[in-house]
Structure formats: structure tokens, C-alpha cells
Amino acid sequence: MREARRSERAGKVTVVANGMPVLRMGMGGIPIQRLDMKQSDRVLEKAVDAGINFFDTARIYTDSESKFGRVLSRHRSRVIIASKSFSRDAAAIQRDIEVSLEHLRTDYIDIYQCHNIASESDLEKVLAADGALAGLLKAKEQGKIRHIGLSGHKPRIVTQALERFAFETVQVPCNFMETESFQDLVPLARQRRVGVIAMKPLGGGNIREVDLNFRFIFSRGVDVAIPGMDSEKQIKENVAALADLSPLTPGETARLQKEKDRLGDHFCRRCEYCMPCPQGLPISFLHVLKNYYFLYDLKDWAWERIHSLAKTYKDCTACGQCVQKCPYHLNMPEIFRDAWEKMLADKSAAAS
């Protein structure tokens, strides 16, 4: 997205590096995992029919790449495909690219990203002589990928990455609850003509003021939003939000503030100021899994990952240190206790 023209940022379409117009409402590849092949084929075809031509997936999203490949390969010249890998060394990420190419049924991937650069240590591994970036550069030389990007939940780390290498896209959480990216990262990206991809644009499904939220993020420099979608209804609603991208009025801003107040006590921004947990709980990841379980309805997927962790909700001792360190004073012990009790009750009901 390095060649995106600022004059087009206010409209429904932006222009990516290869000159292809891209609808600013893209599609994230997480929820599609819970559909069977027939259902996912239908939803993806509806997305293409609706004009969506930016599709984001990842190696870690189980069969998401394969489901995308079944449909998007039939529309290859019309779509931009982005995928990503958690691998941090050159050899591993090159292997992942080969798997992605096979699953996506394509000879090239438009954007390949280093997935979730979460710390300075992560960044150093990626940028090392034999790191993931070296593998991506090699794959680009070979024509297997066209552009190099990165994703991350911590704008401070992503900003550091952008300052050290000319990544062509950055993918970060952007919504009216998570505005840190708009302080330094997005202005830097716009200055360098780097594409800004908004992940979690609806706050993991928490946000109700959908249209206002999209107007908020698009007015602040986001190029493409990639909400996860698994139904024709969601596709229609999200694409329809592009009909009005005008700046918010004071009254509309007040409505968003009300929404922010509603979510304030339980909305985790994943800043990880609460870490480390004395009991070893991965606090922000547990929040993510809770949302996947209750909001995305990926219950089996979330349950499997919960039980793969060394420490989880039931291991919280309610010491309160996380509450003291959280900038928003979220009551983690209460949130986790409530989530665990509901999960157990849900599993018990399903088994009876």
C-alpha cells in the first residue's frame, strides 16, 4: 500500500502498491474457521460479489487459508490476499510461505506479514541476519510474495519496527476504544506512505455503534478495515457502512463516548501493563480466548487453546496485582472467574 494516494483516503476505495483499487472494507479470516466448506464458499462468494477484494488470513488460522483458496483462486486477478506467519527465522517463514501458497491455490501472495511482533525481542529476531525478514525478502525476490508487512497489538513496538525497516503495511488494532495507534504510528505510516490495516476494528465484536466506529477510524488514517465475517448479513452491514465516511458530529462523538463508558469496565486493550502475572497467567491472551469463545462462537477452538496453556482462568488467585497495574483498573480476577464459570456451565449444558 506504499503508493496509496491520500486524496482517496476519504472515499470507499484506496489504491495499493500494484495499482489495484481496494474497497476499504476488507475481510478478516478468523470467523470463517467455524463454517463448513459449503458455507464458507457461499460467504466468500457473497463477499466478492459485494465488492470486497481485500482478504486477510494467517497460517495459525487452522483451515482459513484453505477456505480462502477454494474461492479466491477463481477471482485471483480481482483480489488482494494477505497472510502471515508467527515464524521468526528465515527458513521457517519460507516454509510457511510455501504452505500458504499451496493452501491459497496461488502462485503469489500480495502481502505477507510477520505475525504479532509483540516485543523488542520479537523484533530483534525478525530483523536478525537469519531472521524472518531475510526470508521474506528472499521470497519477494522469487516472486512468491509481492509486499512485506507486519502485524502487532502494541503500536509502540510496531512503530519501532517501521523506523528500522521499510515495511509496506502495518496491521494493528484500531477502533474508538483502542486509539494508541493514532498517536504516533498512523501519522508515521501516512508520512511514509505505508498502508494501515485495521484489525479488530469492532473490538472483537464488543462494539455496537458499528457505523460510527468505522467513520471514526477511517477519518484517522486507516486504509483498510478487516472485520471478521461469517454471514451474508455481516457482509452487507459492513459494506453498507462505507456509504457515509463523513467526520463525526459532536453528538455522534458523544454516542461513542457512551459506548466507551459501557465497555470500560470489561474491555481489555491488550496493552499488557498488567504483566507479568505472579501466577504466570497470560492475561491478555485469556481475554482474547474469552472473546473467541463467547463472541466469535469458536468454542471448540478456544477450549482447545485454553487447555493447552500451562495456566488459565482457574489458576487465578485473585492477588489483585493486575488490577493495580491496569491503566483502566479492570477487575481481572472477577472477569476471569465469571468467564470460567460460564464456560464450565456451557460445557455441562452441552454435554447433558
Q: Examine the pLDDT at 118 and tell me if it is beyond 80.
A: yes
Please state, in angstroms and as integers, the Cα–Cα distance from residue 274 to each residue in 46, 231, 266, 284, 327, following that order.
41, 36, 14, 9, 8
Query: Which position has the grid cell 472483537?
Result: 204
Q: What is the pLDDT of residues 331-347, one digit of tens each?
A: 999 999 999 999 999 99
Beta bridge partners of 145: 109
pLDDT per position as a tens digit, 158-188: 999 999 999 999 999 999 988 999 999 999 9
What topology does CATH give the domain 6-254? TIM Barrel (3.20.20)
Q: Is the dihedral of CA 298, 228, 71, 82 positive or negative?
A: negative
In a 10 Å sphere around its CB, with 0-12 CB exposed, 13-18 middle and 19+ buried, how is residue 214 labelled? buried
Those residues with Cβ within 8 angstroms of residue 206's Cβ, 6 or more apart along the chain or in another chain = 177, 263, 267, 291, 295
Instruction: Tell the burial category of 45 from Cβ atoms under 10 Å away from its Cβ (0-12, 13-18, 19+).
Output: middle
The number of C-alpha atoms within 13 Å of 256 and in the hemisphere containing its C-beta is 21
User: Per-residue pLDDT for 45 more than 70?
Assistant: yes
Per-residue pLDDT band at 268 (split at 50, 70, 90): confident
Average pLDDT score over residue span 143-147: 97
- Domain extents in the chain: 6-254, 283-351
d(CA 6, CA 105): 33
Higher pLDDT, 329 or 246: 246
Q: Give the three cell numbers for residue 344.
A: 464450565
251, 257, 210, 249: which is closest to 229 by C-alpha? 210
pLDDT at 205 over 90: no
User: What is the tens place of the pLDDT at every residue in 2-27?
Assistant: 444 333 344 688 765 556 688 999 99
Average pLDDT in the chain? 91
Report angle CA 120, 203, 3 to the nearest 5 degrees.
65
Instruction: Please give the pLDDT value at position 18.
Output: 56
Give me the mean pLDDT over the 256-267 stretch: 79
**282-307 per-position pLDDT tens digit:** 998 898 899 888 877 889 989 999 99
Asked if pLDDT for residue 150 goes beyond 60, the answer is yes
